Amino acid sequence: MFPIHHTFPKEMPIIGRILVDYGELELDLMNCVQVARARDLNSTLKTMFRIRGEASRIQIADALARVPYTALGLGSEFEIMIDSMDHCRKIRNKYAHAYWHDPDMGKALCYVSLEELAKEDVPVNDLTNLTFFYLDEPLLLEQEAYFDFARKFMMYLNYEGRFRSNELEHNSMTAPPMLQKPQFYTWKG
């Protein structure tokens, strides 16, 4: 393991869970979509996962399921679900495409966004003047809780869609309390 894992033993496991759990969220999203499409798992799975890129998968899910969920009177709930999934994607991508750094010698964890750096028009000739995005354990726990909210909301929408389609006699799931979208970093420097 890289030394950063030993320097920040509380923070790095949370980041790892966020990275791994995003794949579970994509599977939950696919299940939510296939329910709206008369349980057509085969074409839903193949349509969503043949294309590369998390943003594209969310857009495809939106295109496949927005009309059916809206027809069931769940248009605003579907919008919340898509929006929360997209926010989770943004969090995940910041960590998946990051260079982890410890400029303050164990005092604060931060990352550098290599994708954002690569998009800049100015030349990058050295790595000393980078923008550091700092994180702390409370923010990471808030982000992890938001992932949990997104998953529970997707499950609720899945069951509510099945209930309103008369596939279930009742919805055993309740919508989780709404959460504010967490920030992407604690501070930058």
**CA distance linking residue 86 with residue 63, whole number of Å:** 14
- Asked whether 69 and 78 are in contact (CB, 8 A), the reply is yes
Write down the pLDDT at residue 87. Answer: 98
**CA distance linking residue 39 with residue 54, whole number of Å:** 22
Taken in order 112, 118, 123, 125, the sign of the CA dihedral is: positive
Beta strands in the chain (DSSP E): 98-101, 109-113, 133-135, 187-188
- The domain segmentation of the chain, as residue ranges, is 8-93+140-188
How many other C-beta atoms can be found within 10 angstroms of the C-beta atom of residue 173? 18
Write down the pLDDT at residue 125. Answer: 82
Helices H / strands E in the chain, number of each: 7, 4
- Asked whether 5 and 23 are in contact (CB, 8 A), the reply is no
Give me the sheet containing 109-113, strands edge to edge.
Answer: 98-101, 109-113, 133-135, 187-188
Write down the pLDDT at residue 128. Answer: 65
Taken in order 144, 146, 148, 151, the sign of the CA dihedral is: negative
Q: How much is the pTM?
A: 0.92
Write down the pLDDT at residue 16. Answer: 96
pLDDT along the chain (189 residues), means of 10: 83 96 97 90 94 95 97 98 98 92 82 82 78 94 98 97 94 96 93
Write down the pLDDT at residue 189. Answer: 80
